[in-house]
Each structure stands twice: as C-alpha cells, then as structure tokens.
Amino acid sequence: MEYRRISRNVVRMDVSAKAVVLEVLSAGESIVDGTLPVRALVQAASVFDIAENSVRVAIVRLRAEGLLESPNRGEYRLGPSAQMVNERIHGWRTVSSRLGEWDGSWAAVFTADLSRTDRPALRRRQRALRYLGFEQLKTGLFLRPNNLKPGIHGLRAELRGLGLDSKASVFRMEDLNPEQDACARALWDSPSLEQTYSRLHGDLKISMDRLEELPINDSVREAFLLGREGIRQVVLDPLLPAPMVDTDKRSTMVHLLQSYCDKGLHLWARFLAID
C-alpha cells in the first residue's frame, strides 16, 4: 500500500534512549499514574532500534540526575528535577487560555546587570527567556508582546520558576517610538512561524488519516515523532498576537495536534498493553 508523503521524514531514527524514557514516562502520566515498568520502557525504545542495555544505562544516568525515581523495584516515574519542565510541556493543551488581548505594550526583562560568568545561571536564564518567547532588542533587554495572562506579575513568577535570576528586572514597557516599535515587532520571523503552522497541520492531517492502517510499530513511532515535533513547536512558540502573526493558523494547528496526540496515546497504550 502506498501512503501520502509527509513534508519531512518524521520516521527518522534521531531519538536517544534518554529522550524515549523521559517522553514515554511523561506521556504515561496521561495514560496511567505515570509509573511504568522497565519492560514497557524497553519495548517503547525498541521501535527506534534502541537496545535494552542502552535503556538501562539511560535509566541509571537519569536517576543520578534526579530526573527519574523508582517507587517500586523495576518501576520508574519522573523525578522532582523533571517535573517543572514536564508541567510546562503538559500545559501545551491549554495554551489558548493563556492568551489575552494585546494593547500594544511589551513585557520586558533587563539582564545587562547580571553576571555572565555563572554559566549554570546563564543557561537557566536563557532557557526561561526562550520558553516564554522573549527576544533581545538591545544588549541585556529582552521583549515579548504583553499578551499573556495573567500579566506581568504572572509572567515574572513563571520566569523565576523556570530559572530566571531573582535579581532580573521584569516590567511592562510601552510608548516606544515608531522606529523602536517596528524593530521590536521584527524580532520574530512571523512568516516562518506561519509556514510552520501550515506544514505541521498538513503533516498531522496526513498522519492522522493513516495511523490505524500502519503496522503498530510504525504507527506508534510516527505518532511519537510527529507529536513530539508539534508539542515542541507549541511549547516554544512565542504566542504572538494578531496582527504580528496569523493566529487562526496557529489555533487550527494546535486543535488538530490535540486530537492527534489523543490518538497517539491510545495507540501507545495498546502497544504497551496498558489497561
């Protein structure tokens, strides 16, 4: 049987044992209580041609990093160190509830007076800013449209929770002159974002129509990889307001991704024989 081609080869084998373990356990929180036996993790990794020994080595390393914990012998779940990021990832399904009306003002973070020699702190800072869609307007001044609920106070708390230095200034900025405002709006590649929304929507539609027809190993692999790509896009998406981006394209893609991931979870539960 011939299948329509997806715009990119989503069945490529480019995932590590660590990624499979973490992401299957994360998905497991939507199927069971988030605890899975080693055999299920080994079986999940097998569809990516990852050997059992590689899975066991990954488990040992992830436990040492605090990313996994074992409530019972031979069973694992995400550890405390993984929960902060995991909670944000799971929040992608309700991303539309975060969006408010944009009044033209900006959320700003000033970091120029913070140390750049503390490399771990710098990485946490950069991660927090990236996760919430900030871009650098001038050295040490990062902006994003002020359209996320519940406003600056909520954004400040979320940034701190993601690792932004407590001394970083987070504030509302408005009344930029026309030249500055134009520069701020140009920080994001809106046409590229819109192309990504359209491409993902097309890929998800093609894949969703054929998942049940594929052999189970192929269907769970494709659901994992394409769902992963879509979720990553939503989690890291800057969530720009109109007219900076076509918000209908984004919301249509996210809605289809929700249905696609529901089907993917069902397939994975069947594949791993999870009741």
- Digit-by-digit pLDDT tens for the chain (275 residues) are 344 556 554 545 578 999 999 989 888 776 667 789 999 999 999 999 999 999 999 999 999 988 999 899 989 998 887 776 777 777 888 999 999 999 999 999 999 988 888 888 889 999 999 999 999 999 999 999 999 998 999 999 999 988 899 899 999 999 999 999 999 999 999 999 999 999 999 999 999 999 989 999 999 999 999 999 999 999 999 999 999 999 999 999 999 999 999 999 999 989 988 65
Can you give the pTM of this predicted structure? 0.87
| Domain at 105-173, CATH class | alpha beta
**CB burial class (10 A; 0-12, 13-18, 19+) of residue 238?**
buried
C-alpha 228/C-alpha 239 separation (Å) is: 18
Q: Please tell me the predicted confidence (pLDDT) of residue 32.
A: 66
| Domain at 17-89, CATH class | mainly alpha
Question: What digits encode the pLDDT tens for the residues 193-215?
Answer: 999 999 999 999 999 999 989 99
Residue listed under structure tokens 């399904």? 93
> Is the distance from CB of 172 to CB of 103 less than 8 angstroms?
no
Question: What digits encode the pLDDT tens for the residues 85-107?
Answer: 777 777 888 999 999 999 999 99
**CB burial class (10 A; 0-12, 13-18, 19+) of residue 183?**
middle
Q: Please tell me the predicted confidence (pLDDT) of residue 42.
A: 96
Pairing outcome for strands 106-110 and 141-145: antiparallel
Single-letter code of the amino acid located at 29: E
What are the structure tokens assigned to 72, written together?
A: 């019972």
What are the structure tokens assigned to 256, written together?
A: 């289809």
Q: Please tell me the predicted confidence (pLDDT) of residue 30.
A: 67
